[in-house]
């Protein structure tokens, strides 16, 4: 009887250990959309607001949050950038391991000089990226980002840019992990980034 109880105890411990092991190997439950394994958003080759050529590989070792927008955007873009700054604040010292990138969809108006003033105004670590029309279109297509000019009156220089209002998160290895919907507030993204850090 003693041997039987010992054998049952060992079996029970083995089952519990296996169950704990399975729990620890679960994929994390993110607040935002888990897009791990999607075969797009492979990268870009753009110029930053200091004039330096950049690719996604330059940021390996950090989490990257990538947002497409434009500086004259009246609401979505400044709100998103302000939320990203709040996310870094919420992360505290771990925020240094997160790089926020702002890719302009309006290269006609968003010059290097303008991006150099606009993007770091939200946080000094943020980087603005731009390319010519062709590079912008290619990058947007790679990331499945919709954008289109909408004229405002007769002046061709007066327009808005309708665009996808979401961000992408890449892990430290440069792999796409999350699509972040606009307007969720900093707490949900901060929680997801903590899991990836």
d(CA 121, CA 85): 10
d(CA 160, CA 74): 9
Q: How many alpha carbons fall within 13 Å on the CB side of residue 76?
A: 16
pLDDT digit string (tens) for 111-135?
999 999 999 999 999 999 999 999 9
pLDDT digit string (tens) for 4-59?
344 434 443 443 444 444 444 556 689 999 999 888 888 889 999 999 999 999 99
- For the chain, helix (H) and strand (E) counts, in that order, are 5, 10
| Confidence (pLDDT) at 22 | 42
pTM of the predicted model as reported, rounded to 2 decimal places: 0.84
| Confidence (pLDDT) at 138 | 95
């Amino acid at each position: 009887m003693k041997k039987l109880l010992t054998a049952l105890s060992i079996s029970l411990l083995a089952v519990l250990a296996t169950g704990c092991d399975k729990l620890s190997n679960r994929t994390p439950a993110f607040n935002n959309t888990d897009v791990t394994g999607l075969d797009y958003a492979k990268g870009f080759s753009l110029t930053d607001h200091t004039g330096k050529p950049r690719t996604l590989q330059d940021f390996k070792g950090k989490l990257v949050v990538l947002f497409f927008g434009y500086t004259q955007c009246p609401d979505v873009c400044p709100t998103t950038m302000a939320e990203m700054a709040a996310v870094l604040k919420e992360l505290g010292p771990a925020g240094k391991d997160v790089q926020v990138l702002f890719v302009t969809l309006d290269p006609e108006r968003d010059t290097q000089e303008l991006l150099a003033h606009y993007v770091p105004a939200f946080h000094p670590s943020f980087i603005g990226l731009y390319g010519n029309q062709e590079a912008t279109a290619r990058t947007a297509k790679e990331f499945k980002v919709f954008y289109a000019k909408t004229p405002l009156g007769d002046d061709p220089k007066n327009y808005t840019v309708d665009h996808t209002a979401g961000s992408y998160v890449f892990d430290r290895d440069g792999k796409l992990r999350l699509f972040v919907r606009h307007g969720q507030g900093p707490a949900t993204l901060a929680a997801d980034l903590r899991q990836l850090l």
